Amino acid sequence: MQIIRSVSEMQALAAALHAQGQIIGLVPTMGALHEGHLTLIRLAAERADAIVVSIFVNPTQFAPSEDFNKYPRELEADVARCEAAGADYVFAPPNEEIYPKGYSTYITEEHVAKPLEGVSRPTHFRGVTTVVAKLFNICRPDLAVFGQKDAQQVAVIRKMVIDLHFSVDVIVAPTLREADGLAMSSRNRYLTATQRVEALAISRALFKARDMVAAGERRADRLVAEATHILSQQRRIRVIYVALVSRTTMEPAREAITGESVLTIAVWMDDVRLIDNLVL
Ligand code: PAF
């Protein structure tokens, strides 16, 4: 397992791997890896020869009021987790390598990024697309694996890949859940025991909608109303949005279409922001 810190070293490595005919798989992360990330690494390892995990807490996707400073950083433990999951390289650049002094170029997707997360976090996806485009240019992956947990991020990245002609196959891994249904997230560690119990309402709301669809209910207003009702019964939860949308465009759907519609939820659990979704 090799740890790479500089952009030039990573670019040289990617060129050498391509020259040897190896397929490069990239798993972009911000570290604090949990079992969900390890699934992404294992999926990449099934499809590529050389697996690169990037670990970079990207400042441009956090608003000044958000948790950039407190975001967990545990590189040594993460490297061990990557190795155990089958990664070959960890690309963990310091901030100055990615955003040197005077840095001033950003990528903005202007449609899919606008609703939902884009409303409450207006600069977030600009940071995500910018850093992911950079990671694609630095690591030169043939494929990159992202988690369905960040449904809108996946849709925005797919759109960027199409619009900017990146030759990267975007692979999406299903959300991994704890045994009680809570979607795995690096931010779950912020939750107290009481908050964690209340947070289960999020997956309960999604599963209830899935059951309603299985029983024949397709109307978005009814699915959203039921999910919102379940969430609103928790004292600590403030709903940011509950929406049934197209998984590719993030535009509102009037009816659930199998495999195409996603019910997506964002809430404040006291001061912790949680998101989750389910493709219906
Ligand atoms: O999903 C994440 O962890 C981040 O948004 C990503 C894709 C690594 C970009 O910083």
Same domain, 164 and 71: yes
Domain that holds residue 121: 2-173
Domain boundary at 127, 147, 173, which? Answer: 173
Same domain, 194 and 162: no
Nearest one of 141, 56, 63 to 95, comparing CA atoms: 56
Same domain, 126 and 214: no
> Residue 165 catalytic?
no
Give per-residue pLDDT as tens, 195-246.
999 999 999 999 999 999 999 999 999 999 999 999 999 999 999 999 999 9
Q: Ligand 1 centroid to 260 CA: how many Å?
A: 23
Catalytic residue among 18, 34, 37, 124: 37
Same domain, 144 and 204: no
The pLDDT score that the predictor gives to residue 179 is 97
Same domain, 127 and 200: no
β-bridge mates for residue 267, sequence order: 239, 274
The pLDDT score that the predictor gives to residue 182 is 98
What's the whole-number average pLDDT of the chain? 98
Residue 157 lies in a domain: yes
Q: Ligand 1 centroid to 28 CA: how many Å?
A: 6
CA distance 182 to 185: 9
Same domain, 102 and 26: yes
Q: What contacts 77, CB < 8 A, 6 or more positions away?
A: none
Ligand 1 pocket, CB under 6 A: 28-30, 58, 61, 128, 131-132, 150, 153
The pLDDT score that the predictor gives to residue 263 is 98
Per-residue HEC secondary structure of the chain comes to: CEEECCHHHHHHHHHHHHHCCCCEEEEEECCCCCHHHHHHHHHHHHHCCEEEEEECCCHHHCCCCCCCCCCCCCHHHHHHHHHHHCCCEEECCCHHHHCCCCCCCCCCCCCCCCCCHHHHCCCHHHHHHHHHHHHHHHHCCCEEEEECCCHHHHHHHHHHHHHCCCCCEEEEECCCECCCCCECCHHHHHCCHHHHHHHHHHHHHHHHHHHHHHCCCCEHHHHHHHHHHHHHCCCCEEEEEEEEEECCCCCECCECCCCCEEEEEEEEECCEEEEEEEEC
Give per-residue pLDDT as tens, 84-110.
999 999 999 999 999 999 999 999 999
Residue 181 lies in a domain: no
Give per-residue pLDDT as tens, 253-273.
999 999 999 999 999 999 999
Domain boundary at 120, 138, 173, which? Answer: 173
Reported as a pLDDT band with limits 50, 70 and 90, residue 162 is very high
Reported as a pLDDT band with limits 50, 70 and 90, residue 189 is very high
CA distance 49 to 6: 22
Pairing state between β 143-147 and 50-55: unpaired
Strand order through the sheet with 89-91:
2-4, 89-91, 50-55, 24-29, 143-147, 169-173
Same domain, 95 and 164: yes
Same domain, 147 and 254: no
Same domain, 49 and 109: yes
The pLDDT score that the predictor gives to residue 14 is 98
Same domain, 65 and 159: yes
CA distance 175 to 278: 9
Residue 10 lies in a domain: yes
The pLDDT score that the predictor gives to residue 84 is 97
Residue 13, both tokens: 């490595």
Whichever domain contains 225, its CATH number is: 3.30.1300.10
Give per-residue pLDDT as tens, 114-138.
999 999 999 999 999 999 999 999 9
The pLDDT score that the predictor gives to residue 86 is 97
Residue 178 lies in a domain: no
Number of domains in the chain: 2
Ligand 1 pocket mutation, candidates 33, 40, 58, criterion most atoms within 8 A of CB: 58
Domain boundary at 144, 173, 202, which? Answer: 173
Whichever domain contains 98, its CATH number is: 3.40.50.620
Residue 192 lies in a domain: yes
Residue 152 lies in a domain: yes
Ligand 1 pocket mutation, candidates 34, 41, 53, 61, criterion most atoms within 8 A of CB: 61
Return the residue whose CA atom lies nearest to atom 9 of ligand 1. 128
